[in-house]
Amino acid sequence: MQSYFLIVFAFFYIANGLSVPEEIENQFQLGPEDIRLLNSNLYVLDDDHNLVSLTTDLLNAEENTESERDTMMDLHNRVYFYLYTANNRIYPDAISINDLESLKKSNFNFNRPTRIITHGWMNSHNSDSCILIRDAYLNQGDYNVIVIDWSKISINPYLWTSRRVKMIGQYVSTMLNFLEKEGMDLSTTTMVGHSLGAHVVGLAARYAKGTVNYVIGLDPALPGFNGAKIGSRISQDFYPNGGIRQAGCIIDVGGACSHLRAYQFFAESINSKVGFHAKKCSSYWRYKLGLCNRKLSLIMGGRVN
């Protein structure tokens, strides 16, 4: 997975009672491969579909001098939780950690399964990634859909933002603990994150006291996380179109088009009656060498129970 243009669906299985391993505690590290990636003209699309360059962003990396401690102390003003249900598809209920009153006044129903979604760098809860997946779930079932907005952090330079992913994951885990304490069933809860948001939900589930049923990372951001070890990696990878440039991305500036295909495919997998069929293989490189067992197939994405 060394090439930046590999598009990956990452599926995490969170084991009950696991401690947070050291490689997660110190997950964000820059190595030579990360520097190469950050200087290889990578782009993403913001909420207004404008191209944003990670390489250009590196030049502005020191503009925000706020310390990580100051960011952590102000997370309650920068990370928001918006609840959507069949009863309020357009206007969300804002719920807050340890605020039982906001939860009681909301449309949250503890008898429903819960889906938690978040965005990546340069995006917000109004991004296409959150909207498409949110609407797919609400169209196909009766869910509590919580969209996490951490855009007050994600709009900052990539390196500055990435260094705060761990604290955001920890903060989100306190919401998971609060909701579980009040009656949410983690065994029917799925978390979905795109790009840097994939790391947010993965860490949140790992830090939570209980066991989240399923965590899905949609093309997790690689720069800064390239050296993650076994304890903090995903359980299954899906590589649509072999992981290279995606269908329809005739012009794919810095991989931006292929990067957004991850959440588009996932939303479609929820809506689809046919599904996306994948061939099982023990490694990506065995796939490249044509050594996979083509009789073993899996369904990518979909409405996970």
Local mean pLDDT, 10-residue blocks, the chain (305 residues): 42 38 50 68 87 68 80 97 98 98 98 98 96 97 98 93 94 98 97 94 94 91 67 64 72 75 91 85 84 80 69
Between β-strands 189-194 and 214-218, what pairing exists: parallel, antiparallel or unpaired?
A: parallel
Cα–Cα distance, 36 to 159 (Å, whole number): 14
CA distance 272 to 61: 41
Sort 185 into a burial class: Cβ within 10 Å, 0-12 / 13-18 / 19+.
middle
Q: What distance lies between CA 286 and its chain's CA centroid?
A: 27
Taking residue 15's Cβ as centre, other Cβ atoms within 10 Å add up to 8
Q: How do the domains of the chain map onto residue ranges?
A: 13-273
pLDDT at residue 223, as a whole number: 77
The whole-angstrom separation of Cα 24 and Cα 230 is 10
SS3 content of the chain, % helix, strand, coil (to 5): 40, 20, 45
pLDDT of res. 20: 42
Query: How many other β-carbons are positioned within 10 Å of the β-carbon of residue 151?
Result: 21
CATH class label, 13-273: alpha beta
Q: How many residues does the chain have?
A: 305
Distance CA 227, CA 62 (A): 23
